């Protein structure tokens, strides 16, 4: 064999051996697809209520369960000042009021993710009333809010006024999500499953300008226009939801004062049975014109610039009688499927969570621990008979403008729950008064965010190549290597 043949043969054998070794290495492992962990997404929702605004930041994994994200609350921030509807005379201040909470939100959201964060503002009954009164001004307030939010590095999706039914339905979603009525963790804690016998809760919400009731009725519903159809975690739910504008706590108190004044034949001093004895409050009659709930003409009352002094009497029974006059119960006749004003409602069913002002009023009187209806009534009646001197000395840290209102508010709550919604002695204990579940606030914003995750496309999995040993592949590679080396040896013999 010449030297050239030897070098050539050696090169061929070396190349074949190298290729065989590479084949062995590659075939010893089996290439499989491995999914990276899902990335975390964030959402930002402003709850622009009638009396104040709050911001909530939520987060969830980018993969979803049956098209609904698993959302948790990361931050809550109370905006300083009143609700955005209070800035009707200076709309730019509505937008400026949001800045402090927006700055706080950006501190908890990673900078790299901020521009992808969907940000929303939902306005409720306060803005619904302002829109009724002056739609142009309501539009200006929303425009200023939108202008401010667009200045921040988030994906602003819009500022809108929710309907009362949307507010009620989203509150219902929040409660049942937090209480795991839709899904729960499997025994091993690895996956979430739908409970076999889901215990669906009803929702009772009392705000400053409106109140909502939402629940799953039993059997057929006569009036389907009051039913919201929702799909969550792959299942359909039919929810009865009804909202009552002007029946929120603050608007109720205004309406009550106006009715008492109207009944007094325009006297400048008027008895107020719900206020504590020896407590006085002066109101300007023209102030009732600022809300559609109290701006209606009354033949017995001219809303001019006169002052009227409301004098507290601390009369529980008189307060109850006055509060009941705010409802038109006679419109229902003897029907049990009717609340007031001839509004249809199927019979209440199951457990309910009462939140917002329902909770705050009862919490003040320490009535959120499942007390009997008799105990609740007795506690409220006793509170209503206490004098202003007694109350102000017993609750020195309470806002002196809010303290006189608890009697009327709690009696109003009882009237709404018992006479309007038709809860009774037997079903009273089905109501739980609470504002949080775990570390999450109860309200409509989480339900809103849950619903919106249905519209966020599920991310395609990110695939990478992982290596998993395979004995079968190693055996095949060994055989191939043996054949290659045998072929190399045969070629060598032919060249010699």
The token pair that represents 474 in the structure block: 């190693």
Q: In whole angstroms, what is the distance from residue 202 CA to residue 179 CA?
A: 12
Q: Could you tell me how far CA 484 lies from the centroid of its own chain? A: 69
Identify whether 221 is part of a domain. no
Q: Please tell me the predicted confidence (pLDDT) of residue 28.
A: 43
Residue 418 sits in the same domain as residue 475: no
As beta bridge partners, residue 339 has none
Identify whether 50 is part of a domain. no
| Of residues 211, 167, 255, 250, the one with CA closest to residue 345 | 211
Decide if 397 is catalytic.
no
Residue 430 sits in the same domain as residue 480: no
| Of residues 130, 133, 183, 134, the one with CA closest to residue 161 | 130
Report the Cα–Cα distance between both ends of the chain, in Å, rounded.
5
Identify whether 207 is part of a domain. no
Asked if 212 and 205 touch (Cβ cutoff 8 Å), the reply is yes
Identify whether 198 is part of a domain. no
Identify whether 481 is part of a domain. yes
The active-site residue out of 59, 167, 251, 259 is 167
Residue 426 sits in the same domain as residue 487: no
Q: Could you tell me how far CA 432 lies from the centroid of its own chain? A: 18
Q: Where residue 265 sits, what CATH number does that domain have?
A: 3.30.420.150
Q: Please tell me the predicted confidence (pLDDT) of residue 463.
A: 37
As beta bridge partners, residue 53 has 48
pLDDT in tens, 424-466: 999 999 999 999 998 899 999 998 887 776 643 444 444 343 3
Q: Please tell me the predicted confidence (pLDDT) of residue 297.
A: 83
Residue 285 sits in the same domain as residue 321: yes
Residue 394 sits in the same domain as residue 489: no
Identify whether 186 is part of a domain. no
Residue 338 sits in the same domain as residue 269: yes
**Whole-prediction pTM value?**
0.82
Query: What stretches in the chain show pLDDT beneath 50?
Result: 22, 24-36, 189-190, 197, 455-477
Q: In whole angstroms, what is the distance from residue 66 CA to residue 86 CA?
A: 41
Residue 371 sits in the same domain as residue 295: yes
Give, in order, the Cα–Cα distances in Å from 101 to each of 76, 155, 157, 404, 470. 9, 16, 18, 31, 55
Residue 490 sits in the same domain as residue 368: no
Q: Please tell me the predicted confidence (pLDDT) of residue 111.
A: 96
Domain count, the chain: 2
pLDDT in tens, 37-55: 567 889 999 999 999 999 9
Residue 385 sits in the same domain as residue 487: no
Residue 324 sits in the same domain as residue 415: yes
Asked if 22 and 29 touch (Cβ cutoff 8 Å), the reply is no
3-state SS, the chain, equals CCHHHHHHHHHHHHHHHHHHHHHHHHHHEEEEEEECCCCEEEEEEEEECCCCEEEEEEEEECCCECCECCEEEEEEEECCCCCHHHHCCCCHHHHHCCHHHHHHHHHHCCHHHHHHCEEEEEECHHHHHHHHHCHHHHHHHHHHHHHHHHCCCCEEEEEEECCHHHHHHHHHHHHHHHCCCCCEECCCCCCEECCCCCCCCEEEEECCCEEEEEECCCCCCCCHHHEEEEEECCEEEEEEEEEEECCCHHHHHHHHHHHHHHHCCCCCEEEECCCCECCEEEEEHHHHHHCCCCCCCECCECCCCCEEEEEECCCHHHHHHHHHCCCCHHHHCCCCCECCCCCECCCCCCCEEEEEHHHHHHHHCCCCCCCCHHHHHHHHHHHHCCEHHHHHHHCCCCCCCCHHHHHHHHHHHHHHHHHHCCCCCCCHHHEEECCEECCEECCHHHHHHHHHHCCCCCCCCCEEEEEEECHHHHHHHHHHHHHHHHHHHHHHHHHC
Q: Please tell me the predicted confidence (pLDDT) of residue 292.
A: 95
Domain that holds residue 295: 249-436
Packing angle, helices 164-178 and 444-453, rounded to 10: 90
Q: Please tell me the predicted confidence (pLDDT) of residue 456.
A: 38
Asked if 315 and 387 touch (Cβ cutoff 8 Å), the reply is no
Residue 295 sits in the same domain as residue 405: yes
Identify whether 485 is part of a domain. yes
Identify whether 384 is part of a domain. yes
Residue 253 sits in the same domain as residue 385: yes
Q: Please tell me the predicted confidence (pLDDT) of residue 467.
A: 37
């Amino acid at each position: 064999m010449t030297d050239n043949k030897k070098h050539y043969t050696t090169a061929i054998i070396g190349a074949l051996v190298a290729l065989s070794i590479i084949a062995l290495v590659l075939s010893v492992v089996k290439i499989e697809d491995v999914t990276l962990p899902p990335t975390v997404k964030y959402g930002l929702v402003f709850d622009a209520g009638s009396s104040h605004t709050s911001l909530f930041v939520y987060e969830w994994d980018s993969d979803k369960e049956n098209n609904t994200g698993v959302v948790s609350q990361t931050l809550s921030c109370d905006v300083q000042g009143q609700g955005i509807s209070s800035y009707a005379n200076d709309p730019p201040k509505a937008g400026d009021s949001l800045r402090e909470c927006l700055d706080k939100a950006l501190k908890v959201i990673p900078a790299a993710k901020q521009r992808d964060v969907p940000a929303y503002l939902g306005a409720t009954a306060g803005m619904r009333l302002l829109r009724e009164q002056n739609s142009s001004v309501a539009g200006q307030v929303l425009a200023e809010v939108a202008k401010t939010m667009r200045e921040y590095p988030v994906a602003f999706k819009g500022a809108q006024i929710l309907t009362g039914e949307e507010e009620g339905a989203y509150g219902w979603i929040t409660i049942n999500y937090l209480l795991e009525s839709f899904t729960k963790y499997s025994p091993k804690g690895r996956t979430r499953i739908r409970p076999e016998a889901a215990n669906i809760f009803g929702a009772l919400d009392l705000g400053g300008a409106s109140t909502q009731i939402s629940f799953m009725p039993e059997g057929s519903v006569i009036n389907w226009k009051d039913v919201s159809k929702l799909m969550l975690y792959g299942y359909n739910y039919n929810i009865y939801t009804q909202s009552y504008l002007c029946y929120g706590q603050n608007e109720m108190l205004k309406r009550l004062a106006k009715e008492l004044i109207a009944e007094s034949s325009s006297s400048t001093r008027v008895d107020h049975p719900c206020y504590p004895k020896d407590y006085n409050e002066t109101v300007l009659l023209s102030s009732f014109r600022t809300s559609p709930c109290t701006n209606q003409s009354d033949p017995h009352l001219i809303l001019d610039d006169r002052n009227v002094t409301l004098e507290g009497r601390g009369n529980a029974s008189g307060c109850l009688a006055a509060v009941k006059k705010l409802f038109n119960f006679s419109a229902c006749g003897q029907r049990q499927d009717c609340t007031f004003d001839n509004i249809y409602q199927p019979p209440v069913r199951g457990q309910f969570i009462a939140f917002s002002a329902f909770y705050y009023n009862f919490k003040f009187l320490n009535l959120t621990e499942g007390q009997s209806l008799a105990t609740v009534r007795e506690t409220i009646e006793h509170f209503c008979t206490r004098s202003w001197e007694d109350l102000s000395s017993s609750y020195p840290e309470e806002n002196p403008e809010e303290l006189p209102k608890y009697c009327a508010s709690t009696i109003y709550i009882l009237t709404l729950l018992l006479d309007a919604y038709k809860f009774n002695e037997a079903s009273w204990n089905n109501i739980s008064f609470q504002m949080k579940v775990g570390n999450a606030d109860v309200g409509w914003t989480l339900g809103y965010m849950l619903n919106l995750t249905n519209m966020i496309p599920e991310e395609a999995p990110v695939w990478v190549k992982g290596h998993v040993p395979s004995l079968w592949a190693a055996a095949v590679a060994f055989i191939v290597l043996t054949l290659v080396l045998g072929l190399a040896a045969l070629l060598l013999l032919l060249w010699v």
